[in-house]
Structure 1
Amino acid sequence: MKAVLIAAALMAGLSAAHADGTCTANAADKKLGGAAKTSFLGKCRRDAAASCDAAAAGKKLAGAAKTSFTTKCVRDAVGG
């Protein structure tokens, strides 16, 4: 039950990021460049990966289905 609640909380955070756009769009909106942009995109990708892993766990996905779901989820969140 705790895993489901954690996954829901993480997805709520990812949904908030999606409401603002993708990581790439957010970096552009903030006019980030160079090392600041690289750092921002890295953190955004890590956060998206954690949220997507939690969502996959909540859906009880494993193996290739989990990998496929997570890859698409992160790609959608990052924007590329």
Structure 2
Amino acid sequence: MSMRFSLLAASAVLALATTTAFAAPQSSSSTAAHSTKLGQCSHAAAGKTGADYKAARDACMKGGDTAAAPAKETQQQKMARCSKANAGKKGADFKTAQAACLKGS
């Protein structure tokens, strides 16, 4: 009698384990789809860095268009742009023009 009970218990455990193993892929398929979309959005935002990259990737993941939102210019980018615009000026003229360019941006 003890042998029959052991076989019955082992059969029940095996049946439960099999059912659980085949039920799990349904949740991982949504994870795979998420992973695929994340890869596509990361590829779409490849030219961006830092906060711009994260914003573009997040907008893509939410279904938004990455090109619709203009990228915000960083302080370093503003400084570089204004410096190029004021390249011929020197001293106080350069500082004044630089300050006006940065405030106007």
TM-score per shorter chain, which class? 0.3 to 0.5
Judging by fraction of residues, say which structure has more helix. 1
Of structures 1 and 2, the larger Rg is shown by 2
Query: What TM-score results when the alignment is normalised by the length of structure 1?
Result: 0.45
Query: What TM-score results when the alignment is normalised by the length of structure 2?
Result: 0.35
Query: RCO higher in 1 or 2 (8 Å CA, sep ≥ 6)?
Result: 1
